[in-house]
Every structure is written in C-alpha cells, then in structure tokens.
Structure 1
Amino acid sequence: MAVQHTDQRSAWPRVGGIVLLLTALLSVIMIAFAWPATRAGVHDIPLAVAGPPQATGAVVEQLNAKRAGAFDVTVVADTAAAEKLIKDREVYGAIDLSSGHPQVIIASAASPAVAQALQQIAQGLGQQPGEAPAVRDLVPLPADDPRGAGLAAGALPLVLGGIIAAGLLTNLVAGIGRRVVGALVFAITGGLALVAILQYWLGSLEGDYWTNSSVVALSISATALTLLGLEALFGVAGLGAGGAVMMLLGNPLSGLTSAPEMLPSGWGLLGQYLPPGAAGSLLRSTAFFDGGGATPHLLVLAGWAVLGLLLVGAASLRPRGRRDAGATATEGERLVAA
C-alpha cells in the first residue's frame, strides 16, 4: 500500500513574518541597552556647595553659566554639613569653599562617572590658568576595584538570578507553594554566593558581608516572586512579559554603570523603581555608606516582593477549574514550543 507523505514545511509568508518579528525584537533589545548609554550625560546631579554666602553665590553662578542644568545645587555652611550630605547619599559630591582653600569633595563609591565629572569641574574653578582646587575622595572605591567594574558588571547577574529562578522553578517544580519556597531559598543561597564573589574574590564591595548578601537576596526574591506570580496568573505570557520588563528596562535603566541622574531625563528615576536599579543603589548604600540613603530602595524591593506574593495569592484563590484550565493551557504552550 502506498504511503502518503504530508508536506510539513511552513509557508513562506509565515517564515517572513517570523523574520520580521525577530528583527523587531533585536531592535528593541539594541535600543533598550544602547540608548541609555549613548544618551547619558551630566544633568541635575545633586551637588553641595559649602562656604560663606558671597563665595558660594559666585560659584553657583559660575556653574549655571558654564554647565546650565548640569547640577542640582544645595548650599551649606561648612565642610561638615557637605560631608554629611555625601554620606547620607543626598548629594554626589561638594565644592568646599569654607576653609579658605577651595577643594572638591567626591565620592567615587557613589558613582565613578560622576566623580570623574566633578574632577573635570574642579579644573575649571581655578583662579589662575593651570590652577585647580584640591580633590578629596571622601568615600573611595576599594583598592582592588578602583573603577567599580565589578559592581557595574553585577547588574546583569542580579536580573538574571530572579528570571532564571522563576523560569526553572516554573518548569521543574510542581505546586506554586513549593516554587515560592524554592525561590526564597535560592535567593538566600544566590545572595551569599554572589556577594562572596564580589566582596572576597574580586574585592568590589566593602561593608558587612551578611548585610550585602541580604540586599542581593532581597533583589533576587523581588524579581523571582513577581515573575512566579505573573506566571501563576497569566501563564507563560505573564512570565515572558515580566522577564522582558526586568531585562529590557530594569537592567539598562539601573544606573549601575553611571548614575540614575546621568540617564535620559525621567528614565533614570523609572529605573530606581524597578528591582535592578533599587538593588544596585541599595547595595552601594550598604557596602560604602553605612546604609545612608538606603530606605527608599529597600521599600521598593520589599514592595516588589510583596507584590509577587500577592499575585501568587490571587492565583491560588481562583476557582480550581480555572486554575486547572490555565495549567493545561500553559502545558500546551510548552509542548507546542517544544
């Protein structure tokens, strides 16, 4: 008996549509990562100017004339007040005119890019050609990583940790409760491992190891729990959309490679409300500033973690028939994808 063979090849229009979709996706990825980097610049950087009113007024006018919109200036009375603002992470540095010998105070641990910009500003404040105020680094980066490369490179693992955890637990572990427990345990072990590498091997972090590990653990759990909740409610589509937001928005807008204020207007602020940006800023605070300025970022991460748990709880409250139907649909999507 003759055997009939069915042509399983896809139609050319379908192939063309997939190619266009892939091209659009690649373009979005390029824009997400390259646009913030190429448009980064000094604007609205918080800066303190310390000293008597006449001297500070002249410097503020000079800054506005030469670098309009570059700095958000806070005028304080003396060196101690300026240093407190830096350690509290309310400003990135200071121009100190209070001692009679002008100096520029930087904090490279807050942002090497901003510290470099402030040093360039110092070159233009001299009274005579070739003369510039002294530069003092109040909160320097570790000697083993003076450019802060380790912490900047750590942005991607922070994002991927939560995404990978949610993806693998969804596919390999049955039961939403077990997935949540798995995500929390992984967040702890992952935090301990990542900080051990950054702090003890690469020398990129200082401060208390356990506190830093807790920050990374909270970051991983915030991402993982949110994605698990989205998957529990909306299936693979929810997991994919959540992962895309964390990767394509959260990572490039985190400001870890420069500073949130150096990103295009408004986008740096948005990045601080996403787990990667909040985690990076919180880790800088605990590692180098004794927790100064940590509270807002801690609240953001805690909020995402709670949101994830609420999404999981909402999924568990759905009628069992709807949950089973969603699980069947999700399994069907996986089989089709396979």
Structure 2
Amino acid sequence: MADDEPRTGELDTDPGADEKPDEPEVAEEPESAEEPETGETSVKQFRRFATAVCVVGMLVQLLLTAYYLGMGHKAAPHDLPVGLVAGTDQRESITAMLEENGAFEVADYASADLLTTAIKRREVYGGVDVTGDEPVLYVAGAAGTSAASLLRTTYNNVMQQQKAKQVTTMAQAGDSVGITVAQALIATPRVTDVVPLPADDVNGVSLGFLTQALSLGGTIASMGLGRLIPRTRRSWRRGVAHLATLVLYAVGSAAVVLWSMSWFGVGEGADRVEMLWIFSLISLAVTGSTAGAVALVGPAGALVGAFYFTIGTVISGASILPEFLPTFGRELGEHLPTGAGVQAVRDNLYFPDAPIGGHLTVLVLYAAIGCLIVLITNILPNRTDRTSEVDLGL
C-alpha cells in the first residue's frame, strides 16, 4: 500500500500537468491590445472619407459656379436676328451701325407686314420700319424679355441721337423750333409688341421653371426604374415593361405639368392636346436617355439626368436667350432635351406660325435612342441568370 501512495500522488499531480496547456489563454492579451489599433484605423478612414467628400464637394461647387457665371454673368447679344424696312439710301448706313459690334444680324424686308410675319415665325426677334414719317419699332416680348428690352434701348438711343442732331442743325442754321417740331422731338418713339407675353407671365420665366421640373422629375424616375427593373430576370418582356413604364410616366408627368400651369393661367390659349404631346416628348427624352445610360453603365448613368438639370437648364434658352450665350453654350443648349424642349414649348405657346420640326427631331432622337438601348439591354441574356428578386409576373 505504501507503494501505491506515491502512485496516487502521481495521479494527483497529473491533472495539474494536464491543465498546463490551458495556460496559454493568457496569450489573448495581444488581441485586446489590437482593439485600439482598429479604432484608430476606423478614425483614419473616416477622416480620409470626410476629406474626400469635402474636396469633391468644393470642386463641384467651383466648377458649377464658374460655369454659371461664365454663361450668364455678362450676357450679351451675338448676331441677334432683327429686321429692317428702309429705303435704299438708309439701309446701308443703318445696317452698318447695327452690325458694327456683332450684336445684331440685320435682315431686309420690303414692308412692315413682311417684317411682322417674320417676327410671328420667330425668324427675327424684332425690327424697325423707317420708311414712314415716324420710325416704328416692332418687338416680340414673348420671344424673350431681354431681346425686347435690348431692342427698345437701342432704338431709343438712336432716336435720341437723331433728334439731338436735328436740334443742333436747326440751332446752327438759326431756325426757330415751332410747337409741332418740338412735340415731334420730345415724343416717345412708337413701339409695337407684335407677340406680347401674357399678363400671367410678365417676366417670361415660366418656361424655365417647367423645364427644371421636368428634368428633375425625369431624373428621379429614371433612377428609381434603374433600381427596380434589374431585380427581374432579363427578357424581351421585361424590356417592353420598362418601355411601357417610361411612356406612362412621360404622359403622366406631362399631364401634371399642364394641370399645374392652369393654376396660374399660363398657356391658357394654347392647344392642350398639342402641349400634352410636346411635354410628354420632353419627359420621355429626359427619362429615356437617362434610363438608357443607367442600363449601359449602371447607377452612375443617372448623372445624365443630373447633367440635364444642373447644366442643361441654364443654357436651355428659357432665362438666357441662345443669342445671349457664348457660342459653346448656345450650340450645346440647342442640342439637349432641355433646350429643344424650351424652344418647342415657347413656339407652341406664343408663336404658332413658327416651325418646330427641328426641335421635335432633337427630342425624338434622345427618346428613341434611349428607349432602344433600354430594350436591347433587357433582351440580352442575363450572364448571372439569377432568380428574380421581384416577381412581376413577367
């Protein structure tokens, strides 16, 4: 039994020996020491991200500020088309005076009736008839208040200069000025507004507001569809459903715009059916082209809609006439859905005799190309062949 006791002791010490391998649990301390490093890493990442966001935000602000000021801080006319009714002896001198600084581009007309017809067709923004006893200025307020104001100012300045010359000539000749002559010299020059703005749109800014609403709404709708449509399996049916959704939205947004216009009396005399089709085409041009970009490059394609809203509305011709923009802004604006849409709406509202085929062609191209891209990308096979996340019964 004495021999067994040491063995019993040995057995008693064995558990202690077995527990020794568990002691390295103390080695977990370095893991707790790593936690501060993880926190420091998170803080550093946050600082880098915050810095990047601030830098990008300031850069975007700088670019937009430079763009907006570059387009409109000193808007000046460039070859603004105007008409002139004058005799052979007057035409050359008046044309040279108006075209001296490149502000105006003068077109000759044989009579005042032909001039007013050209104004109604938006071939010119206005003009002057100097063939009668008293010159008459013709303007179109609905074509743009800035153009009408410029024509009035230029006309008044020229008339004052001519009257001053007459008074000087008479004074040098020692002639007395009669009552009739004096009244003629101080009389306000005659100005006829051939196509005035309606009383409910005295500043002519309604078109710009409508265009901004269509652009922003179309961008949001395209982004939403870009998130929803990819959740269903690709097929021609999904493409047709996507196109049908775009068309329905375009008509719905156009109806909303027309309804809101009626609250403020804008466009009361216009053909509602024609306006509905034009607004629908504008909306489809914006949403279709944006949706096409989203279908090609993913969510980043929504920047196309943002481009229409932030860049396109400024050079659309709604607030700043195309002839008052730099050449780059004028050319780009006329070939964007916003610019073509503004001109088509303005002509339909105020200048029914003006041709709008060119503007509609631009809108149709944007809508057709965008919708075609959407249809093709939906028909193409799904590489991942994933199960639909949203069952639309397609």
Q: Structure 2 length as normaliser, TM-score?
A: 0.76
Q: CA offset at residue 64 of structure 1?
A: 3.2
- Indicate the residue corresponding to 1:80 in structure 2: 113
How do residues 98-113 of structure 1 correspond to structure 2 at under 5 angstroms?
98-113=131-146
Please say if 1:276 is aligned against 2:332: no
- Indicate the residue corresponding to 1:261 in structure 2: 323
- Indicate the residue corresponding to 1:50 in structure 2: 85
Instruction: Give the number of aligned pairs.
Output: 323
Paired with 1:143 and 1:14, the residues of 2 have a C-alpha distance of 52
- Conserved in 1, the CA contact under 8 Å of 2:77 and 2:103? yes
- Conserved in 1, the CA contact under 8 Å of 2:79 and 2:105? yes
Paired with 1:284 and 1:134, the residues of 2 have a C-alpha distance of 26
**From 96, 101, 117, the counterpart of 1:61:** 96
Please say if 1:216 is aligned against 2:251: no
In structure 2, relative to structure 1, the CA distance for the partners of 1:12 and 1:193 (3 Å cut) is: closer
Paired with 1:283 and 1:219, the residues of 2 have a C-alpha distance of 10
User: What is the percentage of aligned positions where both structures have the same residue?
Assistant: 26
Paired with 2:121 and 2:221, the residues of 1 have a C-alpha distance of 34
Q: CA offset at residue 131 of structure 1?
A: 5.4
- Indicate the residue corresponding to 2:179 in structure 1: none
Q: CA offset at residue 69 of structure 1?
A: 0.4
SS at 1:144 equivalent: helix
In structure 2, relative to structure 1, the CA distance for the partners of 1:261 and 1:322 (3 Å cut) is: farther
- Indicate the residue corresponding to 1:332 in structure 2: none
In structure 2, relative to structure 1, the CA distance for the partners of 1:306 and 1:69 (3 Å cut) is: same
SS at 1:77 equivalent: coil
User: Does 136-145 or 56-65 show the bigger shift?
Assistant: 56-65
Q: CA offset at residue 169 of structure 1?
A: 2.1
Tell me the amino acid that sits aligned with residue 32 of structure 1: Y
- Conserved in 1, the CA contact under 8 Å of 2:239 and 2:375? no
Q: Residues 136-175 of structure 1, C-alpha deviation per residue, up to 9 Å, x if partnerless?
A: 1000110122221322322311211221221122224554
Tell me the amino acid that sits aligned with residue 321 of structure 2: A
How do residues 48-197 of structure 1 correspond to structure 2 at under 5 angstroms?
48-65=83-100, 68-126=101-159, 127-129=162-164, 130=186, 133-173=189-229, 174=231, 175-197=238-260
Paired with 1:38 and 1:177, the residues of 2 have a C-alpha distance of 45
- Conserved in 1, the CA contact under 8 Å of 2:205 and 2:318? no
Paired with 1:275 and 1:99, the residues of 2 have a C-alpha distance of 44
- Conserved in 1, the CA contact under 8 Å of 2:223 and 2:299? no
Structure showing greater radius of gyration is 2
Paired with 1:164 and 1:311, the residues of 2 have a C-alpha distance of 19
Paired with 2:319 and 2:385, the residues of 1 have a C-alpha distance of 42
- Conserved in 1, the CA contact under 8 Å of 2:239 and 2:376? no
Tell me the amino acid that sits aligned with residue 247 of structure 1: F
- Conserved in 2, the CA contact under 8 Å of 1:112 and 1:258? no
Tell me the amino acid that sits aligned with residue 301 of structure 2: G
Q: CA offset at residue 132 of structure 1?
A: 5.5
Please say if 1:286 is aligned against 2:342: no
Bigger proportion of residues as helix: 2
**From 368, 373, 379, the counterpart of 1:306:** 368
User: Does 217-226 or 259-268 show the bigger shift?
Assistant: 259-268
Q: Structure 1 length as normaliser, TM-score?
A: 0.87
* Structure 2 gap ranges (5+): 1-24, 165-185, 232-237, 390-394
Q: CA offset at residue 98 of structure 1?
A: 3.5
Q: CA offset at residue 322 of structure 1?
A: 6.8
Tell me the amino acid that sits aligned with residue 253 of structure 2: G
- Indicate the residue corresponding to 1:22 in structure 2: 57
- Conserved in 2, the CA contact under 8 Å of 1:33 and 1:248? no
Tell me the amino acid that sits aligned with residue 169 of structure 1: L
**From 23, 32, 56, the counterpart of 2:67:** 32
User: Does 301-310 or 23-32 show the bigger shift?
Assistant: 23-32
Structure 1 ranges of 4+ moved more than 6 A: 1-4
* Structure 1 gap ranges (5+): 329-338
